[in-house]
Structure 1
Amino acid sequence: MTTHTTAFDPARVAHLTGRFAPVTDEVDVLALEVDGRLPDDLDGLYLRNGPNPRFSPIGSYLFPIDGDGMMHGVWISEGEARYRNRFVRTPAVRAEEKAGRALWGGLESMITPSEAEVGPDLAHTFKDLPDINVVRHAGRLLALAEAACPFRMSPELETVGRETFGGALAAGITAHPKVDPVTGEMAVFCYGLEPPYLTWSLIGPAGTVTSGPTPIAGVDEPMMIHDMALTARYLVLVLAPAFFDVNAAMNGGSLIAWRPERGTRVALIPRDGGPVRWANDEAFWMWHTVNAYDTGPDAGVVLDYVQWPRLTLGPAPAAQNSPGEPSVPRGLIRAVIDPATGRIERTPLDDAWVEFPRVDDRRIGRPHRWIALAADSARTQGLLPGEYDAVRWYDTQNPSAPSHVWHAGNLSVGEPAFAAVPGREDEGEGYWMTFATDRTDDSSWLLVIPGQDPASGPVARLRIPVRVPLGLHGAWLPTEE
């Protein structure tokens, strides 16, 4: 199926140029140059996945959804580090490598190749896009798509193949599963363009699906939901009014329609299979949760997240309300949701321009103290949406205290991820890590920032041998015994 034939110029797409531009070289470096001192108590892999088209896109390009996945890995042990990057080689990527050019268009173009170009198995299919996130669970290293089957990667980042969890989750999962550090379960959800439009599942610590996929009643049309949160009792899904409109996309319009009159709903889905609890609010958009937790066996749910007034994909930042829409603040928000009454109370924690929030993953589903986010300091002109020049940390135990900020100067930083020091249980006992790119020379670095004094900046900067395109998600994976 080929629909869009309108002229498309990749050179005019901001997120295909500059610090977001894709790279094609796959390299291995056994000893990285280190500026500073790499802590001896770090032992593991910092890994990031992000959109990186293998060939120049055709038809359309919608950041951050489109693009082939590329893994950037830094292995750290005994004060030394090595680097490797690899494409996530889906069947479509392999077909395009054989042809030497892009055969699939971006999502909004609906361009798909013919049987003569790719054979009967891939003809007129949509492209796998496992380019959003990466997670390790039950010994599996998974490259995650927005809403499709993940692809399993080897420990050295070679592509193993599509992961369906033994056929139990053939429709796939979304890009932000949550692993419960207490039970070892991984909670997932998936949305689709056809019924059932929204499902949830639990995957046990051994990697077997133990619950689901279970359809969520009350969702009767396709909608986009990027992230979720997890508590000891609930999966927490925020259903903003972003609805898929395939007919509009096939006729040159937008794939996603923003309908603020529908409001935003929050689903509290009991992990024991009980009935879903719903809460209703005015329209807002959420890309990413921080974390969530229960305040007691019969009490509310606390959800921290980054709020935007509306969904905007592409080059325009989602910072303004349209005429007639409710005035919804952007920034870091704490919501308290009452499962019994469906009431939501939202409290702004900070109105700074922030995204990519993270906590110590050992606190997922439980009360957390520290929140780290990439931030726009307002000191740098010309940053694109998704580009940040600072990292901020919030102490939720001292909400009136000013946030800790490290201004990155000429560096554009990405999502921070926490690397805990083995044997130390306190939050902050470890290091925050993020890739960063120098705006003056396009060199890329892995930054290692001390958790006890993050505003002091990196204790080590590791020179990456290729530029790492800005975005999206990463993880610290400690060496397994």
Structure 2
Amino acid sequence: MSHDTPLMVTAANVRMVAPDGTPPPDAPEWIKRYDHPYLHGAFAPTDVEYDAEDLEVEGEIPSDLCGAYVMNGPSQRFEPVNSKYHYYDGDAQLRAIYFRDGRATFRQRYLRNGAFIVEDKAGMAIWPGIAGPYDFRLPGSPIKDVSNTDVIFYNGNLLSLWHMAGDPYKVDPLTLETRGRETLGGGLSHSLSAHSKTDPNTGELFFFNYQDEPPYMSYGMADAQGRLKFDIDIDLKGPRSPHDMGLTENYAILHDLPFYHDVDILKNHNRRVMGFHRDQPARFGLIDRFGRSDKVQWFEAEACYILHISNSWEEGDWVHMLGCRQEDPMPQKDARDHHLASMMAYRRRSHVMYRWSFNVKTGETREGLIDETNTEFPTINSHMTGRKTRYSFNQIIPVPKEGSLEGRCQTFNGLLRYDLETGATQRYDYGDGVYGSEAPVAAAHGQGKSGDETRAYPVIFTTDSNDWTSYCLIFDAADISAPIARVKIPRRISIGFHTTWVDGSEIWDV
């Protein structure tokens, strides 16, 4: 295999607004040659794989909190191939904390997918990242499929998924050892996007995929035993960049949004340049969830972009979808960010809680704002997917502060609970210089299908940039004003992406 020698980038020739302080003491040595906000501070990689038993606990872990909280996210292992390292480029690293009988253990492992193995043998980075330029001479993909975005539980395995649609990889939920590519019994002929979903009550997998060649999108399902049941082509006018999907009892909700890349630029200049087409509506396609028909009923709404859905459900002829809406996914660039201006601008987008409603009989769309607070990564009680929910637990994005990571790099500085019935909110702030992660809401052990959303525990990882300590915070879903327990993690956790909760009954005999 041929590859170019990585470009050595120093603080002298890559200048940015200084990140918070110096790199953490446990960051890889090569980090010191970079002045890059997504390689410093709480974003700095942690390249140690380890296990830790009987973690130190402040407070008391609830006896009915039983299972695993797993986070996927970037932790760059080798020096990047060029100066345009993007936060989304880091190697996938899984961090898991396990709760059982009031005790906690922790495990951290890299995902060993195809690209990781090749670079591991070479001892250096080979693929460029999403900022490009793409290299179509490289095997498999012109950029690195890092599989670092999402993690879900399916058919006895964790599945790692990538936001640009990549190869899904199976991971042992107890050891975090990589088990190989998921093929759905040999039936999967393409990639899977992040935010494919499993039904926690049936174990079925519902997925979507997108690509640059026709068919531009597909929607499919696999049963709880890992067998592909159907894979339907979705007719779109061109390549799109959807990130999430809705799921109700009878429908899947697919996204065709007017924020997508220019294919000609990709072909001619090896770069993926996004554009927001304000004159085009956002479109949402309702398709039979179980593939009993390939007909899609399309609904139009005001132009926007959406990263993440909180939940979707049906009420009579109406299908409701709640999520975080971006009115402008292309904010103004800041010249102080120099060659990283585009990346930094995208990470400063505003996201607001919003509701879309679609009438399957009349074709009417209704939409409206729920709250103006800048929040993202919405989660719900893990047993309530596709059923009406009262609460959503979101991460708060702070207002930018000069000279700080907060706001500039889209950190999370607090947890916000929405009561969608009364409009009330409740919040918990992590503290100055403390950054949080997505908080899956762990249903209390034995809850089953009770429908009681507050018999559950939001759990979250935090990292304190003041002393580089990391904790797992456990909240009572009925009152998040303060954590009921804080579990100390032995080493710093770098900021990650998406998470999942795995019920203890799925991994132990409990």
Deviations 1:441-475 (A, max 9, x none): 121111111112111x1111111122212130111
Does 1:143 find its partner at 2:160?
A: yes
Task: Quote the residue 1:235 is aligned against.
Answer: 252
Q: Given the alignment, which residue of 463, 466, 472 partners 2:491? A: 466
1:306 partner SS:
strand
Q: CA 1:113–1:27 in 2, change beyond 3 Å: closer, same or farther?
A: farther
Q: Shift in Å at residue 286 of structure 1?
A: 0.5
Q: Secondary structure at the match of 1:336?
A: strand
Letter in 2 for 1:239: D
1:323 counterpart residue number: none
Q: In 2, are the aligned partners of 1:40 and 1:77 still within 8 Å (CA)? A: yes
Q: Decide whether aligned partners of structure 1 residues 125 and 111 sit closer, same or farther in structure 2, where only a CA change above 3 A counts.
A: closer
State which of 44, 48, 52 in structure 2 corresponds to 1:21.
44
Bigger shift: residues 261-270 or 181-190: 181-190
Q: Which residue of 2 aligns with 1:286?
A: 306
Q: Which amino acid aligns with 1:291?
A: N
State the Cα distance separating 1:127 from its structure 2 match. Answer: 2.6
The CA distance in 2 between the partners of 1:264 and 1:215, in whole Å, is 20
Partner residue in 2 for 1:389 = 413
Deviation of the 1:476 alpha carbon:
1.4
Write out per-residue CA displacement over residues 409-451 of structure 1, whole angstroms, 9 at most, x where no aligned residue: 1321111111111233311112110111112112111111111
In structure 1, what is the Cα distance between the partners aligned to 2:260 and 2:4? 21
1:418 aligns with 2:441: yes
Residue 280 of structure 2: aligned partner: 262
2:359 to 338, 346, 355: 338
Structure 2 match to 1:326: none
Structure-2-length-normalised TM-score: 0.84
Structure 1 CA distance, aligned partners of 2:114 and 2:55? 32
What is the rounded CA distance, in whole Å, between the counterparts of 1:446 and 1:20 in structure 2?
Answer: 17
- Residues 317 and 114 (structure 1), Cα distance of their counterparts in 2 relative to 1, 3 Å cut: closer
Figure out how many residues of one structure are paired with residues of the other and give that number.
460
Which residue of the other structure, out of 226, 229, 242, is the alignment partner of 1:207?
Answer: 226
- Distance in 2 of aligned mates of 1:365 and 1:180: 8
1:148-198 deviation per Cα after TM superposition (whole angstroms, max 9, x unaligned): 221111231111111121222221211101222344322110001111110
Which digits, 9 at most, give the CA deviation of each residue in 1:207-258, with x for residues without a partner? 211121x1112x0311100111101111112221122334424527543232
C-alpha separation in 2, matches of 1:370 and 1:306: 14
- Between the aligned partners of 1:72 and 1:138, the Cα distance in structure 2 is 20
Quick one: which of 426, 429, 432 aligns to 2:455?
A: 429
| Preserved contact between residue 52 and residue 469 of structure 1 (Cα < 8 Å) | yes
Q: Using the alignment, how far apart are the partners of 2:133 and 2:346 within structure 1?
A: 24
- Residue 220 of structure 1 is matched in structure 2 by 237
Q: Partners of 2:417 and 2:314 in 1: how far apart?
A: 23
> How many angstroms does 1:113 deviate by?
9.1
Percent of aligned positions that are identical: 30
> Residues of 2 paired with 1:5 and 1:39: CA distance?
49
Residues 9-408 of structure 1 aligned to structure 2 (within 5 Å)? 11-59=34-82, 61=84, 63=86, 65-112=88-135, 122=139, 126-146=143-163, 147-155=165-173, 156-212=175-231, 214-217=232-235, 219-249=236-266, 251=269, 254-271=272-289, 272-296=292-316, 299-312=317-330, 314-317=343-346, 330-376=351-397, 378=399, 382=404, 383=406, 384-399=408-423, 402-408=424-430
| Structure 2 gap segments, 5+ residues each | 15-30, 331-341
| 8 A contact 2:376–2:397 mirrored in 1 | no
Q: Is the 2:382–2:501 contact (alpha carbons within 8 Å) kept by the matching residues of 1?
A: no
| Cα separation, 2, equivalents of 1:207 and 1:252 | 36
- Aligned with 1:76: secondary structure? strand
Q: Judging changes above 3 Å, is the alpha-carbon distance between structure 1 residues 366 and 318 closer, same or farther for their aligned structure 2 residues?
A: same
Give a deviation string over 1:94-118, Cα, whole Å, max 9, x none. Answer: 2212222111111232454978xxx
Alignment-mate amino acid for residue 220 of structure 1: K
Equivalent AA in structure 2 for residue 185 of structure 1:
E
Residues 112 and 87 of structure 1: CA distance in aligned 2, closer, same or farther (over 3 Å) = farther
TM-score, scaled relative to structure 1: 0.89
